[in-house]
């Protein structure tokens, strides 16, 4: 689920009681509060166009030259951890400006893919996903809010709640609130159109955020349209199937998932050695995210390249129990974070490439089938079936000598373009 695409935040007691009754809890007042904001970059249209021109074919995916100058801002804001405790988090916010780009603006909330680097932030002008969002959306007139998730960058939480659907939605919604406060502080307006997208882990996050917004905040923050991209929505099936047919990167994603659930819920395992074999168990609960890249984690012997079996990450007993017992703690927590359990209200479109070695395309097809069974039509775009994109994919796969860059490099800009085409008529 890695996405290293490199192109580019004294009343009386009676009165207080009334307020508490209306809000549910005084603790909720911290959610979405904007603690600070700092501009980290400002690019004129010409600089954005030059960056796009350095990436062959990207201009065609965007559909034209930059219309707006763009500033990138880092925000720190208040939100909640899985235990509903107050924590701080960070996000990047892209804001268009210039002639013809004065707003009111539509907002895109973009959710990033898996990173194992704790310091990573979408408020950095060197972050590839932030660069793609700048070129694809912000330079075309969208404000883009990009949460970093808990456990990264400005977050005060000591771990990351990886693929934790409810908490990720909380963090994303609060980033959106803080981003809107930043706009208001700058005297800028939102036009009321709200779009959700995200890639890989971010596809799961986007769908989780859509579910939470439509269920809990339909009037405060109505969703205009949603386009999750290449996400593990059918998490139950994906994890279960992955023991026998591990996806690329499974020995890194799996500890992030299990340790995140253990720290959030407390019932995934009794001791880490129940789940993880020696020597990998040593220090594993504080390993991710950290300072080592995907490649370094394997090359430096922190994690094995294989998930199961002799020398693999997981103990045989853990895998056997997981497969056999639907009430096993780890399996129940995975099922709790599956997203095939609601009815999307806003227009929704999914996108993926059918040869994806990291997130099986069955996630997209299963989601479409499930939502159809609930009477909801969700469209799906397999970029391998788009005549203008298929030659691009084949050329890049051949250049890479296989599918090693398929999920993380080749498909992200293609699906981002598909999402933009879905959003543009509605903005």
- What is the predicted pLDDT for the residue at 142? 99
Question: Could you tell me which residues come within 8 angstroms of residue 158 by beta carbon, excluding any fewer than 6 positions away?
Answer: 151
How does pLDDT run across 45-93, given as a tens digit for each residue?
A: 999 999 999 999 999 999 999 999 999 999 999 999 999 999 999 999 9
Mean pLDDT, rounded, for 394-417: 99
309 and 377 fall within a common domain: no
Q: Which of 336, 368, 394 is the last residue of a domain?
A: 336
Residue 14 has pLDDT above 60, yes or no: no
With a pLDDT cut of 70, the percent of the chain lying above it is 93
- What is the predicted pLDDT for the residue at 43? 99
Confidence of residue 223 (pLDDT cuts 50, 70, 90): very high
310 and 346 fall within a common domain: no
How does pLDDT run across 229-249, given as a tens digit for each residue?
A: 999 999 999 999 999 999 999
Confidence of residue 19 (pLDDT cuts 50, 70, 90): very low
How many C-beta atoms surround the C-beta of residue 274 within 10 A? 15
Residue 25 has pLDDT above 60, yes or no: no
Confidence of residue 22 (pLDDT cuts 50, 70, 90): very low
Domain range holding 219?
A: 13-233+342-426
Look at residue 347 and tell me if it is in a domain.
yes
Look at residue 1 and tell me if it is in a domain.
no
Taken in order 107, 117, 85, 214, the sign of the CA dihedral is positive
Mean pLDDT, rounded, for 22-49: 84
200 and 264 fall within a common domain: no
Look at residue 2 and tell me if it is in a domain.
no
How does pLDDT run across 328-368, given as a tens digit for each residue?
A: 999 999 999 999 999 999 999 999 999 999 999 999 999 99
254 and 357 fall within a common domain: no
DSSP 216-234: H-TTTS--SEEEEES---S
Q: Which of 336, 353, 372 is the last residue of a domain?
A: 336
How does pLDDT run across 282-315, given as a tens digit for each residue?
A: 999 999 999 999 999 999 999 999 999 999 999 9
Confidence of residue 186 (pLDDT cuts 50, 70, 90): very high
370 and 297 fall within a common domain: no
Whole-number average pLDDT of the chain: 95
224 and 265 fall within a common domain: no
Whichever domain contains 354, its CATH number is 3.40.50.1820
Look at residue 5 and tell me if it is in a domain.
no
Look at residue 406 and tell me if it is in a domain.
yes
Distance CA 423, CA 349 (A): 10
Distance CA 137, CA 175 (A): 18
CB burial of residue 252 (10 Å; 0-12, 13-18, 19+): buried
Q: Which of 306, 336, 366 is the last residue of a domain?
A: 336
pTM comes to: 0.94
Whichever domain contains 242, its CATH number is 1.10.260
Confidence of residue 203 (pLDDT cuts 50, 70, 90): very high
Mean pLDDT, rounded, for 239-263: 98
226 and 239 fall within a common domain: no
* CA-based R_g, the chain, Å: 21
Look at residue 396 and tell me if it is in a domain.
yes
111 and 171 fall within a common domain: yes
**Count of domains forming the chain:** 2
- What is the predicted pLDDT for the residue at 367? 99
């Amino acid at each position: 689920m890695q996405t290293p695409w490199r192109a580019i935040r004294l009343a009386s007691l009676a009165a207080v009681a009334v307020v508490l009754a209306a809000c549910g809890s005084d603790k909720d007042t911290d959610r979405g509060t904007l603690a600070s904001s700092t501009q980290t970059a400002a690019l004129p249209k010409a600089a954005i166009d030059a960056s796009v021109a350095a990436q062959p074919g990207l201009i065609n995916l965007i559909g034209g030259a930059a219309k707006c100058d763009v500033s990138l801002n880092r925000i720190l804001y208040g939100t909640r951890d899985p235990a509903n405790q107050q924590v701080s988090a960070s996000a990047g916010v892209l804001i268009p400006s210039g002639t013809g780009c004065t707003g009111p603006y539509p907002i895109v909330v973009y959710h990033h893919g898996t990173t194992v680097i704790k310091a990573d932030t979408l408020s950095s002008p060197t972050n590839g996903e932030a660069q793609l969002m700048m070129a694809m959306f912000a330079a075309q007139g969208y404000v883009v809010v990009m949460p970093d998730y808990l456990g990264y960058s400005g977050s005060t939480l000591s771990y990351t709640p990886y693929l934790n659907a409810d908490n990720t939605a909380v963090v994303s919604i609060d980033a959106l609130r803080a981003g809107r406060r930043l706009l208001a502080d700058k005297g800028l307006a939102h036009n009321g159109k709200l779009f959700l997208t995200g890639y890989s882990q971010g596809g799961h996050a986007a769908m989780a955020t859509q579910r939470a917004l439509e269920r809990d905040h339909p009037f405060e923050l109505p969703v205009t349209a949603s386009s999750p991209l290449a996400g593990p929505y059918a998490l139950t099936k994906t994890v279960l199937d992955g023991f026998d047919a591990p996806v690329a990167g499974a020995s890194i994603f799996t500890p992030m998932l299990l340790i995140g659930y253990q720290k959030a819920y407390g019932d995934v395992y009794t001791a880490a050695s129940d789940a993880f074999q020696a020597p990998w168990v040593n220090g594993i609960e504080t390993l991710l995210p950290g300072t080592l890249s995907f490649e370094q984690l394997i090359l430096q012997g922190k994690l094995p390249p294989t998930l199961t079996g002799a020398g693999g990450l997981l103990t045989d007993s853990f895998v056997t129990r997981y497969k056999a017992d639907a009430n096993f703690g780890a399996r129940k927590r995975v099922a709790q974070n599956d997203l095939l359990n609601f009815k999307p209200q806003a227009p929704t479109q999914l996108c993926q490439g059918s040869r994806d070695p990291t997130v099986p395309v069955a996630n997209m097809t299963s989601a479409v089938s499930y939502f159809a069974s609930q009477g909801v039509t969700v469209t799906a775009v397999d970029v391998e079936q788009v005549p203008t994109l298929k030659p691009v994919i084949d050329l890049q796969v051949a250049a890479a000598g296989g599918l090693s860059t398929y999920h993380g490099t080749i498909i992200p800009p293609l699906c981002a373009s598909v999402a933009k085409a879905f959003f543009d008529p509605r903005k």
